[in-house]
Every structure is written in structure tokens, then in C-alpha cells.
Structure 1
């Protein structure tokens, strides 16, 4: 385990000044966070996800490259669209090397709220890389769909009454279909060995944990402050954002725990045998740290940990911490995707 900024296991979150009506560190030391388990899986958890993956792989993504948006950091950035499950067309951005063929490929997930531009996702972790940055269904700017809420607190509840209609499962499929679109548009990435990496933050981190175990096209992943970890525990922890919406729904519909058990990122991580770098925070008002660490703790393969002071919270050292994480991520992918 690479501990990044870890000094010792008794380390606790900084005493940040805040006005939340709860403790975003949840009173846990690093040692305690490193012992948070994953919940038990439903008996047909694996079969459920393998079936959804097979359905996504059967989709012809029909990718279309749009206009050139900008060229910077050794990359050309285009608009792109593709087809996902249910026949929906989704948009995003395609990143290609400005010169030469791509040697690596990435699918880059986004946080709740979507993305309206490429922003800091470029430069990519490795030079001479291609990437697709999709907007999953319902999310701005290029994933908006009639009938699917675009507000996080509503989106996270869309179709939640059944495992077969819950939007989170469809968002995972959107990532699988994005990978298919990238491999069709950048044929040099196809080969006998997996050459794709995944990066995801928060919402995208949780989706990545759910997507990666079943998809042999990915060799490696990096998940930052991943959500959806250990739902039974999350439902007991106060927070803000989409997690709070699920807690409120659960208070009136306790049976939803049965659906959520199929969408637990920590449970899925127990099936994830590929190398994964997790960046988990000691203090986070939106994604409770116990859930983040549950994802890391459950990983079945080679794993590395970068401990962050805070997630979803700006403080004086945020930029410096992000720069350190960017460097660690680049080093990680350089070692694994060499």
C-alpha cells in the first residue's frame, strides 16, 4: 500500500472551521477508516452486473466526431457523441494526441453535475494518450435527456424503486459504451492486452468502481473520493448533496436498501482485481469518508492509497494537495500502463 501523505494510523482529520451541523470527519481516525468493511453482496450480484455488461457490449456506439474545440497540452479536443443502452445518444469530448498515434487510452468520469467543458482533465495523466470524456445520461452539459433529472439530488433517485430501472446502472453502462466508442475511434488502442485506464472523481469514482470489475478492456483505474461505498453505513451518516437525498428517501422507503445493495461501490470493489489507486479524504461533507475508505479496503487486486485532507471542501492547501495527487496519478499510470 502506498500511503501518499500518511504519517501514522492515528492521524485524524484537520480541525477545519465549518458550519455544517455534523462532523464531516465522522470522528474516525485513519486506522479506523482503514477497517471499514464492504457489506455483504446479494447472491446474484455478479450475475446482475455481468448481464448488464453483456447488454452494453451488444450496443453499436456509432460514435461521431464533432468540431475541434481547442488544441493545448499536446492534445486536440473534439466534441463527440455516441449511442448507449436504450438507444440514447450522449455527448462528450474526445481527446487525441496532436501528433502521432495514441499509446494509451482513458475513459474519464465526472462528478455529480456533469461537465460543461474539458477543463483540468487535460493534460491527461500520460502523454501520447487518447481519451473520451462522456457526460452520462441526465448530466450537463451534453448528457441531458428528457425525463431524466439533471439535478444531483433528483438524479440519484431516478428509477430507484427497482434495480432494473435505477439510473445508476444505466450510467455505468454509459461508461462501458463510451469505452467502445473510444476504441472504435482510436483503433490503435485495440490489441491483445488491455490498454485502457479509467479516472473518476466522486460520482465518477463510484461509477468506476461499479464498472471496472466486469470489463476486460480496462487494465487499471484511479478513483478519487468515490461515492456509493457501503450503503448501509452511508444511510446512517449525515451529509449534504446526493447522499442526503438518498437518506431522506430511505427514511420513507426503508425497502430501498435491497436496491442499493446492487449498486454498492465497496461490494463491487471486492470483485475488482486490477490495479487501482484510490484517493480518499479524511474530511468530506458530501461523500462520508467511511464510504470512500470502504471502497479502498475492499479492493481485490493491487491497490494504492493517497490520503487527502479534505474532499468536496475548499481550504488553503487544496491546490497543493491536488497537484500532489496529479503527480501520484501520473506516476501510477506510467508504472501500470508502461
Structure 2
């Protein structure tokens, strides 16, 4: 790996113009209104197992178009009073996997809701259990980034972003959760999803932990790096040569820069300067447009793994400061 993007000093001031669709707010307002017309109807199915210090349940709730979205809900077993909750979004191709893989935040005193990303995790080491019932009315490259790309109403991430907002709404009404102390967290695709939630429902969260987020300044990402899931878009445009502007017009409804400009909750970003999957300039584009209080952690010699366990430790400390006023947090 090498440094391939802009120098750090330039990245810190990099704030490209936002080519935002005119109907952006109207589109998302109508989309969420349609979703909320379906009862949220969260349900918990307790799970047995060897984890003596936490309670584990499968959670299901209604996401986009009433589709039932699954996940884990984990909380400390002997907790007193309503707990803060961390809603976690997953990286590309991942499913929610196994409950014992998500114990860091429960061990720090949080309830945790881990949301399956619809359709993903089918062939990964972290299996998912939530299908995507919506078909595509257009051609696509295998994967998810070109699914339904012919129109914003059909695009795959419209459904995912709605699911993610509804996950926060579900967490807020689950037993033992303090609805006034919800934090969202995710890395890569999960960071991009979290950024969308921060812009779509800023009043519902007290903080956002966004590690090496994808789905921001999408067009630039396709132009400066030839690795990662964005290559699905490149492959699509390689054959749909006449559709370039139309495609990026659709993707404009899902670009993290536009959600960042509407987000007001405190946010903690991380970026890795050798990350070719989520290039640094795309992360800084979202960070610099972020409207709320913000900080960014830079990992100079890392790729898409970013800060790894060290970043997770910092995120835990930040979450505790937000939720508990922990003076030991940075």
C-alpha cells in the first residue's frame, strides 16, 4: 500500500461542491412517510446459550415497505434502569453473524442492536438472515451497488437506509432502552449507512461513530481507485456507456455528502490514508460537509482496516462519554 490520494493538509480543507438532486428532501420525506405507514411491530425472541452475563434475543421489526428486518438485541443481564443503546450497521457483504461477536458494547454497559443488511451475508463468514424481497427492474452487475440503479425509487440503498432509520426507531421502544441515549456506529458500508441515518433522523441519536465510511462522494471514488465494491458501478458503466450522468444522478440521492450536510448530532469519523476501498478524499468530503460537531481520527499507514481494535477502543470511550458522561473518555 502507498499514499495515493491528496496530501493530508489538502484533505483537511477538501470540501467539493455538492451536486444535490433538487428533490432530495422531498424524496426522503416521502420515503420515510411511506415506511412509517407500516407498524414498526418490534418483536424479541430470546436465545439460549452459554453467555451468562448478557441477555440475547433475535429482534425483528418492519423496515422498508413493511419488510421484516432481523438482527441481534444484546444487553447486560443484571442492569438497573434503562440503558443507552448502540445501533450497529455492518460492512459490505456481512450479516449479523453470531451474538458472541458483538459483546464489546454490552460489556461496557450498553444495550446493542445489530441490524442485518437485507440480502447480504449469504456467502460470507458472518452470515445474515434477512432477505431482500424487492426485485430489480433493471440490469445489474453482481453485488448490490447497481441493484435497481435505473431510478432512485428502485435503488437498493433506498431500502437499506430506511431499514437503518427504522432500526433506531425499534431500539428506542425495546424493553430496557433509554430512547434519549441512542448512538449509531458502523464501519465501511456500515459507516455510510450510519451517515445516512445521521442526516435522515438527526433528532433520534446523540452521536455517530463512523469509521472509514463508504458511499460518500461516490463519483470520485469510482475515478481514483480500482478496488472495492464501487467497481460494480464501474463495471456497469463500462457497458452502459451512455448512462453515466443518469447513473450518478440516481446515486446523488444516496451520497453521504448530502446526508452529512443535514446531520447535527456529534460525530466521530475515522479515515486511513492508504485506504483504496474508501479513499481518504471521499471520507474527508463527507466529514468537511458534516453540519454537526465532529472530530476525525487519521490513521496514516493503514488501509481499509483503519484503526482496527485501537479505533474500537476509542469508539467505546467516546460512547461512554456520550451516554454516561464518563470523564475518562477522550
Cross-structure match for 1:210: 196
Q: How many residues align?
A: 306
Cross-structure match for 1:157: 146
Partner of 1:95, secondary structure, is strand
Q: By how many angstroms is 1:301 displaced? A: 1.0
Q: Identify which of 214, 219, 232 aligns with 2:206.
A: 219
Q: Identify which of 301, 309, 317 aligns with 1:323.
A: 309
Q: Identify which of 289, 298, 304 aligns with 1:298.
A: 289
Matches within 5 A, 1:248-287: 248-251=235-238, 252=240, 253-254=243-244, 255-287=246-278
Structure 1 residues 69 and 270: alpha-carbon distance in aligned structure 2, compared to 1, 3 A threshold? farther
Mapped contact 1:281–1:310 kept (Cα < 8 A): yes
Cross-structure match for 1:180: 169
Cross-structure match for 2:32: 53
Partner of 1:311, secondary structure, is coil
Cross-structure match for 1:232: 219
Structure 1 residues 51 and 146: alpha-carbon distance in aligned structure 2, compared to 1, 3 A threshold? closer
Structure 1 residues 173 and 71: alpha-carbon distance in aligned structure 2, compared to 1, 3 A threshold? farther
| TM-score scaled by length of structure 1 | 0.82
Cross-structure match for 1:289: 280
Q: By how many angstroms is 1:153 displaced? A: 4.9
Q: By how many angstroms is 1:125 displaced? A: 7.5
Partner of 1:283, secondary structure, is coil
Q: By how many angstroms is 1:206 displaced? A: 0.7
Structure having greater relative contact order (Cα 8 Å, sep ≥ 6)? 1
Supply the distance in 2 between the matched residues of 1:121 and 1:290 (Cα, whole angstroms).
30
Mapped contact 1:102–1:128 kept (Cα < 8 A): no
Q: By how many angstroms is 1:114 displaced? A: 2.0
Mapped contact 2:113–2:171 kept (Cα < 8 A): yes
| TM-score scaled by length of structure 2 | 0.84
Q: By how many angstroms is 1:179 displaced? A: 1.8
Asked if 1:133 is matched to 2:111, the reply is no
Structure 1 residues 197 and 73: alpha-carbon distance in aligned structure 2, compared to 1, 3 A threshold? farther
Q: By how many angstroms is 1:120 displaced? A: 4.4
Structure 1 residues 169 and 250: alpha-carbon distance in aligned structure 2, compared to 1, 3 A threshold? same
Asked if 1:94 is matched to 2:81, the reply is no
Q: By how many angstroms is 1:36 displaced? A: 2.6
Cross-structure match for 1:195: 181
Which runs of 5 or more residues in structure 2 are unaligned?
Answer: 122-127, 325-330
Structure 1 residues 300 and 125: alpha-carbon distance in aligned structure 2, compared to 1, 3 A threshold? farther
Supply the distance in 2 between the matched residues of 1:209 and 1:241 (Cα, whole angstroms).
19
Residues 135-187 of structure 1: CA deviation (Å, up to 9, x unaligned): 121112112235669x9952111111101111101101111121222222225
